[in-house]
Amino acid sequence: MSAIIKFKDVDKYYGDFHALHDINLEIDAGETVVLIGPSGSGKSTLLRTINGLETIQKGSLVVDGADVSSSQTNLNQLRTDVGMVFQHFNLYNNKTILENIMLAPRLVLKRKPEENEKIAQQLLKRVDLSDQAPKYPAQLSGGQQQRIAIARSLAMDPKVLLFDEPTSALDPEMVGSVLSVMRDIAKNSDMTMLVVTHEMEFAQAVADRVIFMADGRIMEDEHTDTFFAHPKSERARKFLSQVEHH
Q: What's the pLDDT tens digit per position in 193-234?
A: 999 999 999 999 999 999 999 999 999 999 999 999 999 999
CA distance 20 to 229: 27
What contacts 81, CB < 8 A, 6 or more positions away? 63, 64, 158, 159, 160
Closest CA to 50 of 36, 64, 40, 71: 64
Residue 41 has a pLDDT of 93
Report which secondary-structure segment, H or E, holds 186. Answer: helix 172-188
CA distance 218 to 36: 10
What contacts 68, CB < 8 A, 6 or more positions away? 49, 50, 51, 52, 56, 61, 62, 75, 78
First to last CA, the chain: 33
- The phi, psi pair for 161, rounded to 5°, reads -125, 125
Name the pLDDT band for 245 (thresholds 50, 70, 90).
low
CA distance 86 to 69: 22
Per DSSP, the three-state class of 44 is helix
Stated pTM of the model: 0.94
Residue 189 has a pLDDT of 87
The CA R_g of the chain, rounded to the nearest whole Å, is: 18
We find that the CATH architecture of domain 3-242 is 3-Layer(aba) Sandwich (3.40)
Say yes or no to pLDDT of 138 above 50: yes
CA distance 144 to 146: 5
Using alpha carbons, list the distances in angstroms from residue 86 to 11, 59, 145, 210.
23, 26, 11, 20
Lowest mean pLDDT among 22-31, 56-65, 84-93, 204-213: 84-93
Dihedral class, residue 103 (left if φ above 0, else alpha if ψ from -120 to 50, else beta): alpha
Pair 61, 70: CB distance under 8 Å: no
Task: Give the residue-averaged pLDDT of 150-175.
Answer: 93
Residue 1 has a pLDDT of 59
Using alpha carbons, list the distances in angstroms from residue 169 to 87, 88, 165, 174.
6, 7, 8, 10
Say yes or no to pLDDT of 246 above 50: no
Q: What is the pLDDT of residues 84-111, one digit of tens each?
A: 998 888 899 999 999 999 999 999 999 9
- How many other CB atoms are there within 10 angstroms of residue 217's CB atom? 16
Per DSSP, the three-state class of 63 is strand
What residue segments make up the domains of the chain, in order of their start?
3-242
Say yes or no to pLDDT of 155 above 90: yes
Report which secondary-structure segment, H or E, holds 12. Answer: strand 3-14
* DSSP character at residue 149: H
Torsion of CA 11, 186, 36, 19, to 10 degrees: 20
